[in-house]
């Protein structure tokens, strides 16, 4: 996965490529490269200058980071992907009973697990269009190229956009099913999550559905090991954020100066991935004219991943305008899939 600003180019207008009439996929590019870069630069400046410094998870994903993430999903400790896939396999036929005509997937990435849903929806004979929606144009295009071969009769309409700002780009054509998988919702802080769910509710009609994958609260040691595996793949993934930052913004942070830390925050009920300085760090981010100083033992927070209870999440959904239709929980209560619909 390349950082979105590297893959997308735009003149500030939404751009569309391909046309549905000729059977080619359409790609609606909503990300303006300059606007994205300015927002990203401002965010890095804010994060690295904070009393408790942080970095956005967007820095994990260059091509190497994407490969590492793929490896993480296959690790024995990383239960999420397997549990979610299993739930999808068990319940995709029930999803197909809702007469879905358009399937949208937010943060679609490689759209791997999506095939389980698409198989069932295509089989139902109602599905017309699949809409992958991601900030990374390169990843989105690769996914469409693969899926077109597998589903020749399906229309593809990709959206290269930010799900915090571009939900209006979700095309008409209901009933729509909007999937948000991989526990990605847990990467949003509570206020951000609330706004996101509220905006999603505003973008949908009563006949539409959302399907959200949530990682569940469980024994902290089990969660921590999923983010600190014995082979050190997650540690390499975490440190890769610095390599990407160095390359993109001409910074000189040395990943070897940092230790990977996965910490369960009991109060917030989320896991924190951190990079902890092993020695005094004095580094600069040349493109932003910024310096960063850390004492040994000081951390950079790189990701949070909130864990939920099915009841707590159903209550959050209700507050944002959705009523729960079904919640499916995996064996051992590790992961949940929540199907919900706007109640007005």
Ligand X SMILES: C[S@@+](CC[C@H](N)C(=O)[O-])C[C@H]1O[C@@H](n2cnc3c(N)ncnc32)[C@H](O)[C@@H]1O
Measured CA to CA, the distance from residue 338 to residue 210 in angstroms comes to 8
Residue 114: CB minimum distance to ligand X, A: 8
Look-up: residue for tokens 């993109």? 248
Among 103-111, 296-304, 316-324, 327-335, which window interacts with ligand X (CB under 6 A)? 103-111
Q: Cβ closer to ligand X: 136 or 257?
A: 136
Among 163, 258, 264, 270, binds ligand X (CB under 6 A): 163
Q: Which of 108, 225, 234, 243 binds ligand X (CB under 6 A)?
A: 108
**Helix 137-150 × helix 114-124 angle, to 10°:** 40
Number of shown-chain residues binding ligand X (CB under 6 A) = 15
Coil vs helix vs strand at 56: coil
Q: Which residue is nearest to ligand X (CB)?
A: 182
* Range list of H helices, the chain: 4-7, 33-49, 63-73, 79-96, 114-124, 137-150, 190-203, 220-226, 233-249, 310-319
Q: How far is CA 269 from CA 20, 38, 68, 110, 312, in A?
A: 44, 32, 25, 28, 12
Which 169-228 residues touch ligand X, going by CB under 6 A? 181-182, 184
Q: Is 134 in the site for ligand X (CB under 6 A)?
A: yes
Question: Site mask, ligand X, residues 110-129, x = CB under 6 A?
Answer: ---x----------------
Q: Which H or E run includes 27?
A: strand 26-29
Taking residues 53 to 72 in sequence order and writing x for each that binds ligand X by CB under 6 A, - otherwise, the string is --------x-----------
Stretch that binds ligand X, among 18-26, 47-55, 108-116, 258-266 (CB under 6 A): 108-116
Minimum separation from the CB atom of position 83 to ligand X (A): 12
Is the Cβ–Cβ distance between 279 and 257 less than 8 Å?
yes
Complete DSSP assignment for 112-151: TTHHHHHHHHHHHT---EEEEEES-HHHHHHHHHHHHHH-
107 binds ligand X, rule: CB under 6 A: yes
Rounded CA separation 300/319 (Å): 33
Say whether residue 306 binds ligand X (CB under 6 A).
no
Gyration radius of the chain's alpha carbons: 20
**Under rule CB under 6 A, residue 136 binds ligand X:** yes
Per-residue buried b or exposed e for 245-283, using 16+ beta carbons within 10 Å of the residue's own CB? bbebbebebebebbebbbbbeeeebbbbbbbbbeeebeb
Integer Cα distance of 42 and 61 in angstroms:
19
Choosing from 53, 65, 109, 175, the residue that interacts with ligand X (CB under 6 A) is: 109
Which is nearer to ligand X, 39 or 101 (by Cβ)? 39
Nearer CB in complex with ligand X: 164/250:
164
Neighbours of 326 (CB within 10 A): 13
* Binding of residue 164 to ligand X (CB under 6 A): yes
Binding segment (CB under 6 A) for ligand X, from list 107-115, 119-127, 202-210, 288-296: 107-115
Determine the Cα–Cα distance for residues 79 and 112; give it in Å rounded to an integer. 16
Interface map 31-50 toward ligand X (x if CB under 6 A)? --------------------
Should residue 162 be labelled a site residue for ligand X when binding is judged by CB under 6 A?
yes
Binding span for ligand X by CB under 6 A among 120-128, 158-166, 267-275, 315-323:
158-166
Contact positions vs ligand X (CB under 6 A): 61, 107-109, 113, 134-136, 139, 162-164, 181-182, 184
């Amino acid at each position: 996965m390349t950082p979105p600003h590297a893959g997308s180019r735009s003149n500030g207008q939404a751009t569309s490529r391909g046309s549905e009439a000729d059977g080619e996929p359409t790609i609606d590019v909503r990300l303006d490269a300059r606007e994205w870069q300015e927002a990203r630069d401002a965010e890095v400046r804010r994060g690295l200058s904070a009393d408790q410094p942080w970095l956005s998870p967007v820095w994990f994903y260059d091509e190497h980071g994407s490969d590492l993430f793929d490896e993480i999903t296959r690790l024995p400790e990383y239960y999420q992907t397997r549990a979610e896939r299993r739930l999808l396999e068990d319940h995709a036929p029930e999803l197909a009973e809702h007469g879905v005509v358009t399937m949208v997937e937010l943060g679609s990435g490689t759209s791997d697990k999506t095939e389980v849903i698409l198989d069932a929806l295509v089989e139902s004979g109602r599905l017309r269009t699949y809409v992958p929606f991601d900030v990374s144009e390169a990843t989105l295009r690769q996914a469409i190229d693969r899926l077109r071969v597998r589903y020749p009769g399906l229309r593809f309409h990709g959206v290269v956009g930010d799900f915090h700002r571009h939900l209006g780009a979700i095309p008409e054509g209901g009933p729509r099913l909007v999937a948000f998988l991989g526990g990605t919702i847990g990467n949003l802080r509570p206020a951000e999550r609330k706004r996101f769910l509220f905006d999603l509710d505003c973008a949908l009609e009563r006949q539409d559905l959302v399907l959200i994958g949530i990682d569940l609260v469980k024994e902290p040691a089990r969660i921590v090991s999923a983010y600190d595996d014995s082979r050190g793949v997650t540690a390499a993934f975490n440190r890769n954020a610095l390599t990407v930052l160095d390359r993109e913004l001409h910074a000189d942070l040395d990943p070897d100066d940092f230790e990977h830390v996965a910490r369960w925050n009991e109060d917030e009920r989320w896991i924190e991935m951190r990079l902890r300085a092993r020695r005094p760090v004095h580094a600069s981010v040349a493109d932003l004219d910024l310096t960063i100083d850390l004492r040994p033992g000081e951390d950079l927070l790189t990701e949070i991943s909130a864990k939920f209870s099915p009841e707590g999440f159903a209550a959050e959904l209700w507050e944002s305008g959705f009523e729960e239709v079904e919640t499916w929980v995996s064996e051992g209560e590790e992961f949940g899939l929540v199907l919900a619909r706007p109640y007005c």
